[in-house]
Structure 1
Amino acid sequence: MKILLVEDDEGAALVLKNILTHQHYTVDLAFDGETGLSLAQMFLYDLVLLDIILPKLDGLMFCRQLRAQKNDTSVLLLTALDSSTSKVIGLDAGADDYVIKPFDTNELLARIRALMRRKTPSRSSIIQAGNVRLDTSSSKVICNGELLHLTAKEYALLELFLRNSNRIFTQEMLLDYLWSSEEMPLVNTVRAHIKALRRKLKLAEADDLIETVHRFGYRLNSKLDQMKLTTAADTNLPTEIDTTIVNQYKPQYKSQFSSALADIWKRFKPRYSEQITSLEQSITALLVGTQTEEVAQQAQAQAHMLIGSLASFGFTEASCLSREIEKIFRDGIQQSIAQLERLSQLVVALRQELERANVLEPPITVAKRCQRQRFANMKQQPRLLIMDNDALFCQQLIEEAALCGIEAFVAPLTDAKDVIAQNTPDVVLVDLHFSNSVESSLQLLAELTSKNLALPVLVFTEVEDFTYRLKVARLGAQIFLHKPVAPALVMAAVIQVLQRADVTGAKIMVVDNDSQVLDNLHTLLSTWGFQLTLLDNSQRFWDTLNAFHPDLLILDTEMSLSSINGIDLCQVVRNDPYWNHLPVLFLSNRKDAQTVNQLFMAGADDYLSKPIVEPELITRILNRLERLRLQ
């Protein structure tokens, strides 16, 4: 489903887009009313999420003009104005529903689903075709009783086909429906996602679900006669607000914040701080009797914007304080001592709330999930060596590591070499400033990352200095963390490093009849710890593939002195039910668009032109292996 979000606060808009995207919605953003209305006129949307107070064209006028153009797209108002009069005016302007800021994210998602059911009575949260069952309330797809793991775009494609079982979609139509205007994908992107979706459906024994209509596009298989749209009555779902998801996106971000939202907060916090500074200046002007009507209106506007902005990041108390400040300015300043004192107290409390939100951490559940996420497949329990003189913090790290299935132990810097010799760790976490000599610490880092040991090292320290960061990076540290840092965040970084180390032990099969190319690839890849099989005879391809069982396949496009080329081999792999998921990376001397398109049509996952550049090749390989791991 495609949503247009019109919100002038960029920070709040990005937070909401992040949440909606995780719910498999495609989202276009507009930061003023005029741009939003233009997008609504040019593109087809299922829903418009609309702030009322907007620059250039306010939300109410947006609604009136949209309805005047006979556009019946559902409109959900987001407003900080909580009076009943404001709600009535919004609904009279043509809005279908409204949510008051600060809003609970679960309520917003439920109202979005309710609007969709109201718009299309047959629309429900559960759709079934053949042996495939999709539940939009939990964003899960079940095939033959097993959970099907899909990407966001694959999920959106499947839902679109299931909900429009008799409709043919061209590639251009799918681009308009499922990709936002800022993504600007090519038509090849649609084919790649259709191919990936079909591959997963085939593995789940539902490969006949989506059919190609020659010269037109794609549709749900017309031969399927088991199509079923489960209605609200069938599943006892409420007809208005859907309450099936409880606490799925409850924004308790003061202590639990996803890394994506933390990045947004870091970017926009200075802007919100400036708005509070403006409020402080306005109240100071009130106290000395120099405030003008214009300044008072600006203060009211700043407080109004902070209501929704801070609520978007989960700072409910700060949002409530902003609302009370806005109400005082809206009702008119009476210049009473009690009122001025109250305003001063509110803005001081607001500033304190903002500063209290200074350190943001990713969800603690990241550390909890890792028990069932990755390390069950490792031959032994990963070992983490910690070198830090903060005993309490070390103990917290040991406990957090245990939750992740990681064995953590502490050693002083002076004994590091002996400890490593006796009990080699899989990863090292070190504070280089807890010894007397920084230079000796840096020397230890160099030894840890040298070819003799080649240990992955994370550095964390209270020192915030670019020159120091540069030295650490040049010596081979993989991650730099700045104290203070939460144990869960440290462990998320450790897991990330361990996962990198895990994929570098993957099995790679290379097929090329140029012995020099094979020698070069062997030199490049063997130093990274990959297990290699190099093949110069394509006739032995199938037997070697089944004997070696690679995690990734590297093929040359053209093979001289052979009637079988890399494209032939790729097609053989894609036609086999067992091997058709295998990542395939092509190497080629040719760069023309026709050749590249031919490679991807044959089933290539990636393409690299010769001559081979080591950093680019390694990056492409690691990215492909990481994607395979996440599937």
Structure 2
Amino acid sequence: MRLLCIGDSSTPGGLRPCHGLAEAAVEGALSITMSGPEGVVETLRRSQYDIVVIQLAQPDTRLLRHIRNSRIPTPVIMIVRASTPAEVADALSIGADDCVSSTIEPVELLARLRAIVRRTGGHDSLSLHVGRMVVNVDRRQVRIDKTPLPLTPREYDVVELLTLRKNQVLSKEALLDNLYAGQEEPHGKIIDVMICKIRKKMREFGITDPFITQWGIGYRLNEQAFIPLGARMNAHNASATPASRETSLPVTRGINVISPISKMDVL
């Protein structure tokens, strides 16, 4: 999961992830990029992030309002040290997807982050369904027609990420950031190798083209490839059936810290 964490650079230790985020990053579950509030909209337009975390001493909705007014669709969670129910309600009404205390336990925070990312991608449970394929996030297992697909841990991560972001093209850089979560990253060619191996394994199940390659950009999940064969044949037959005619007349078919942007966004 690739996360942009926005801290308050005016306070001591402001550009550090909270305890829960730091613990999740150590486990390799998150790739965290730290940033101050300056230039955040431009950063989100330029790079792909799964979720934004705004961590503050108290709820301040100016930055959140700026992100939403700029029509940035990335989900946002606020982590605050102290808040009132009215302040939380205000943040949620403006466009925050969640607002939690900085004392939240790492396991709960990580679960909330994952749940928000899943819902944003159109998935409402720990099982991601795409035609014949089911990705069990809790078990880290992919099944095709109820049969487990033998994947390495990194290959599973690629399939899960492309399934979660099924309507987006993910660059190799974004895939690397998510897979290696701040660790020393290998050359981008490793993504091509993993995609090739996954394709080969899925061909054994009759899925010939699970991913669409956007040359020079990245990869996207090909949902059409996972449509059950029977449904595909029915759709083909329906499209091939001639229109009914009632008469003989013719019928017509109808943990890196990024530097502030030099040109600051105006809040």
TM-score (norm 2): 0.61
In proportion to residue count, which structure has more helix? 1
- The answer to whether structure 1 residue 95 and structure 2 residue 102 are counterparts is no
**Which residue in 1 is equivalent to 2:71?**
70
**Which residue in 2 is equivalent to 1:180?**
177
1:134 and 1:140 in contact (8 A); partners too: yes
Aligned-pair distance for 1:43? 1.6
Equivalent of residue 26 in structure 2, options 13, 18, 25: 18
Aligned-pair distance for 1:168? 8.1
**Which residue in 2 is equivalent to 1:81?**
82
- Matched to 1:60, the amino acid is T
1:2 and 1:178 in contact (8 A); partners too: no
The structure that has the greater radius of gyration is: 1
* Greater Cα offset, 130-139 or 204-213: 204-213
Counterparts of 1:131 and 1:142, CA distance in 2: 8
Classify 1:189/1:108 alpha carbon distance in 2 versus 1 (closer, same or farther; 3 Å). Answer: same
- Matched to 2:109, the amino acid is L
Aligned-pair distance for 1:213? 5.4
Q: Deviations over 1:534-585 (max 9, x none)?
A: xxxxxxxxxxxxxxxxxxxxxxxxxxxxxxxxxxxxxxxxxxxxxxxxxxxx
Classify 1:138/1:49 alpha carbon distance in 2 versus 1 (closer, same or farther; 3 Å). Answer: farther
Aligned-pair distance for 1:129? 4.7
1:405-420 maps to which residues of 2 (within 5 A)? none
SS in 2 for 1:127: strand
Equivalent of residue 222 in structure 1, options 205, 216, 224: 224
SS in 1 for 2:99: strand
**Which residue in 1 is equivalent to 2:127?**
126
- The answer to whether structure 1 residue 155 and structure 2 residue 152 are counterparts is no
Counterparts of 1:70 and 1:113, CA distance in 2: 22
- Matched to 1:9, the amino acid is R
2:211 and 2:222 in contact (8 A); partners too: yes
C-alpha RMSD over aligned residues: 4.0
Counterparts of 1:155 and 1:168, CA distance in 2: 18
Q: Deviations over 1:481-506 (max 9, x none)?
A: xxxxxxxxxxxxxxxxxxxxxxxxxx
**Which residue in 2 is equivalent to 1:141?**
142
Classify 1:91/1:205 alpha carbon distance in 2 versus 1 (closer, same or farther; 3 Å). Answer: closer
Classify 1:168/1:87 alpha carbon distance in 2 versus 1 (closer, same or farther; 3 Å). Answer: closer
1:443-454 maps to which residues of 2 (within 5 A)? none
- The answer to whether structure 1 residue 9 and structure 2 residue 16 are counterparts is yes
Counterparts of 2:61 and 2:214, CA distance in 1: 46
Classify 1:42/1:197 alpha carbon distance in 2 versus 1 (closer, same or farther; 3 Å). Answer: same
Aligned-pair distance for 1:186? 5.1
Counterparts of 1:214 and 1:17, CA distance in 2: 30
Classify 1:213/1:113 alpha carbon distance in 2 versus 1 (closer, same or farther; 3 Å). Answer: closer
1:132 and 1:206 in contact (8 A); partners too: no
The gaps in structure 1 that reach 5 residues or longer are 228-631
- Matched to 2:50, the amino acid is D
SS in 2 for 1:48: strand
1:312-323 maps to which residues of 2 (within 5 A)? none
1:30 and 1:36 in contact (8 A); partners too: no
2:173 and 2:188 in contact (8 A); partners too: no
Classify 1:124/1:177 alpha carbon distance in 2 versus 1 (closer, same or farther; 3 Å). Answer: farther
Classify 1:195/1:43 alpha carbon distance in 2 versus 1 (closer, same or farther; 3 Å). Answer: same
Counterparts of 1:50 and 1:223, CA distance in 2: 38
1:151-550 maps to which residues of 2 (within 5 A)? 151-152=153-154, 154-163=155-164, 169=169, 173-180=170-177, 187-201=188-202, 205=205, 208=208, 210-211=210-211, 218=219, 219-220=221-222, 222-226=224-228
1:47 and 1:75 in contact (8 A); partners too: yes
Aligned-pair distance for 1:48? 0.9
**Which residue in 2 is equivalent to 1:52?**
56
Counterparts of 1:133 and 1:98, CA distance in 2: 31
Counterparts of 2:86 and 2:168, CA distance in 1: 45
The gaps in structure 2 that reach 5 residues or longer are 8-14, 230-267
Aligned-pair distance for 1:98? 0.9
**Which residue in 1 is equivalent to 2:257?**
none
Counterparts of 2:126 and 2:157, CA distance in 1: 14
TM-score (norm 1): 0.29
Counterparts of 1:80 and 1:11, CA distance in 2: 10
Aligned-pair distance for 1:4? 1.8
Q: Which has the higher contact order (CA 8 A, sep 6+)?
A: 2
Counterparts of 1:168 and 1:38, CA distance in 2: 19
Q: Deviations over 1:54-111 (max 9, x none)?
A: 9xxx963321221221213211111121432442453355422111121133432332
Counterparts of 1:77 and 1:196, CA distance in 2: 39
Classify 1:205/1:226 alpha carbon distance in 2 versus 1 (closer, same or farther; 3 Å). Answer: closer
1:4 and 1:29 in contact (8 A); partners too: yes
